[in-house]
Amino acid sequence: MRRFFFFVLLCALGLTPFAALAQSVSQAVTSRQQDLQNQLNDLEQQIAVQQQLLDTAKSQHQTLQSQIDTFNAEIKKTQLQIQAINVAITQLNGDIGVRDQTLSQLSAQLTAEKESLAQILRQTQVLDSYSVVSVALGSESVSGFFRDLDAFASIKSSLANSFNQIERTSSSTEAEKEALQARLADQEQLRTVAQLAKQQVQAQEQEKQKLLTQTKGIEANYQKLIAVTQRTAAQIRSELFTLRDTAAIPFGTALAYALAAEKATGTRAAVTLGVLKQETNLGENLGTGTWRVDMNPTRDQPVFAYIMQALGFDPDKMPVSRKPSYGWGGAMGPGQFIPSTWVCFGGFINQNGNSCTPPSGAGASFWRGPWQYVVSKDRVRKLLGGSGPSNPWNAQVAIMATAMLMADNGASAQTPRAERLAALRYFAGWTHANNPAYAFYGDGVMEFAANFQQDIDQLGGF
């Protein structure tokens, strides 16, 4: 009996203390995360300073120096945003690495505790086989036997509690790791935005050097250049407005569609055009994909097939966005709506669920349909009129749908803050819209919108 008690005690004492492990991991995570967070906070402060300089430069009378100051502030701000993106990705990568290590240690400890509990249960059967006569005839005293039995029960209870705690913590850590991996996928999306930002820096630097070359650094030459390059209303209207995955249209036509959308939704025409311009730039960098390769096979492919059938299109010939490294592609048209989102704008109803959105807990079976087009549910068609399903590749439809989604995101308030936030929600969703690392997309949309607004003002509204 004494030998058995000693064995159980060794099993209990031979395990790594859970509290010490948890404390060690917590300290490592906290220290590293705090360091990276300090870097992000510092970068955000520097970005804010550059934004102030940029606002000041733009508010000044248009001179050669103010234009150069604007270029410099834009370049510096974009460079800082790229640094912030990289720090944010590093932060998540490191956090996931720590949790991987934690899970490995917890798994080893959990295995050891399971084996210890198994040994205890096996030995419990031995204890249960002892009879009163065996105890009475044994060399052990009865009081000693019960002392050992009490100690054994205490150790078994403590070990069971530790086992349950580690199992709960392991499950929690695994869930946390999955959540972090999802966030990392979102951060990977920023690599595309960072690439756009780098290209923007290069373009801004080239424009600055071109301006300095043309003016030779002389203010009088700059004012002459402005006069020469001032476009007429006719030129503005006739310039082509490029749209993603469809043919370009005259800017005057795009503006007419956007102004009609503004009247219907409350989203400023310049902002709608700014979103479409930003999405077109993204498309130029990502390229075009195919639905069978780049589209989510469970959620979007079945819906896409029905949408194409309803529109009378060959799905294999329709351009969709290429799948990036961080998730699925398959977005349609200039507004880049994924099929599972477009159903709520284009009037497609799941006949089983009688809805365009899945009920709570719905799985792949919901997206398999069957689907049905209902004219009265077509939100875009209600505003544009006509008949038949709305086509997301049609310029007028795409512009109206973009304005609608931006209005749903809050852009109809028509304040700079609300419009920028709506653009970020358009790109990153409501959950991640306030992440500073996504700022470049929102800033880009607002910059394009400001340029378009100048053209609109020059045209006198139209």
pLDDT digits (tens, 9 = 90+) for 315-348: 999 999 988 665 688 999 999 999 999 999 999 9
pLDDT at 462: 54
50 vs 461, more confident: 50
Confidence of residue 167 (pLDDT cuts 50, 70, 90): low
pTM: 0.71
pLDDT at 12: 44
Q: How much is the mean pLDDT over the chain?
A: 81
Token digits of residue 125: 């059967």
337 vs 112, more confident: 337
* Domain-wise residue ranges, the chain: 2-215, 231-458
- For the ranges 94-108, 121-135, 168-182, 223-237, the lowest mean pLDDT is seen at 121-135
Quick check: 7 pLDDT over 50?
no
Confidence of residue 146 (pLDDT cuts 50, 70, 90): low
Tens digit of each residue's pLDDT (9 = 90 or more) over 301-316: 999 999 999 999 999 9
Confidence of residue 16 (pLDDT cuts 50, 70, 90): very low
Q: 6 by DSSP, 3-state: which? A: helix
Q: 348 by DSSP, 3-state: which? A: strand
185 vs 254, more confident: 254
For residues 431 and 418, the answer to whether their CB atoms sit within 8 Å is no
Work out the average pLDDT over 32-51.
Answer: 86
Token digits of residue 322: 């290429």
pLDDT at 8: 46
DSSP label at 240?
Answer: E
The CA distance from 74 to 187, in Å, is 23
For residues 163 and 155, the answer to whether their CB atoms sit within 8 Å is no
Can you tell me which residue has the tokens 């028509």?
A: 414
pLDDT at 305: 96
Work out the average pLDDT over 24-31.
Answer: 66
- For the ranges 41-45, 115-119, 381-385, the lowest mean pLDDT is seen at 115-119
pLDDT at 33: 76
The CA distance from 198 to 428, in Å, is 20
Greatest alpha-carbon pair distance for the chain in Å reads 116
- Decide yes or no: CATH 1.10.287 for domain 2-215: yes
Distance of CA 252 to the CA centre of its chain: 34
Q: Highest-confidence range of 32-46, 55-69, 398-412, 419-433, by mean pLDDT?
A: 398-412
pLDDT at 222: 85
Helix (H) or strand (E) holding 253: helix 251-265
Can you tell me which residue has the tokens 């077109």?
A: 280
CA dist list (Å): 219 to 37, 54, 104, 161, 243: 44, 20, 66, 79, 37
Tens digit of each residue's pLDDT (9 = 90 or more) over 393-449: 999 999 999 999 999 999 999 999 999 999 999 988 898 898 777 888 899 899 999
Tens digit of each residue's pLDDT (9 = 90 or more) over 115-131: 666 666 666 555 555 55
310 vs 20, more confident: 310
